[in-house]
Amino acid sequence: MEIWKVFLKLFQVRRKLNISNLEYDYMIASEHINSIFNLVSIIRYKYKKNIVKEQYLPLGLRVLDWNLFYNVTLKK
């Protein structure tokens, strides 16, 4: 994340809107649905209670840039 986005998130926007970091990430991601990072933010916000398992394949590390696949299992 770019440094100015972090600054805005931590010090200005979040305080003015009185929202959590997760809600802020969702708000930004819903406006710019074009990368895996934004899609993960949307999934984690909208389905946070339904997430059963997240997998990062093939390496298994929680770093999206180093893996080819992000799999998420949701319960109904």
More confident site: 50 or 2: 50
Whether a cis peptide bond, with omega within 30° of 0, leads into 58 is yes
**pLDDT tens column, 25-36:** 787 777 776 788
Model confidence, pTM: 0.56
pLDDT at 68: 87
pLDDT at 73: 92
**pLDDT tens column, 57-75:** 899 888 888 888 888 999 9
H helix runs in 1-76, sequence order:
3-7, 14-17, 21-31, 36-46
Inform me whether the pLDDT recorded for 1 exceeds 60.
no
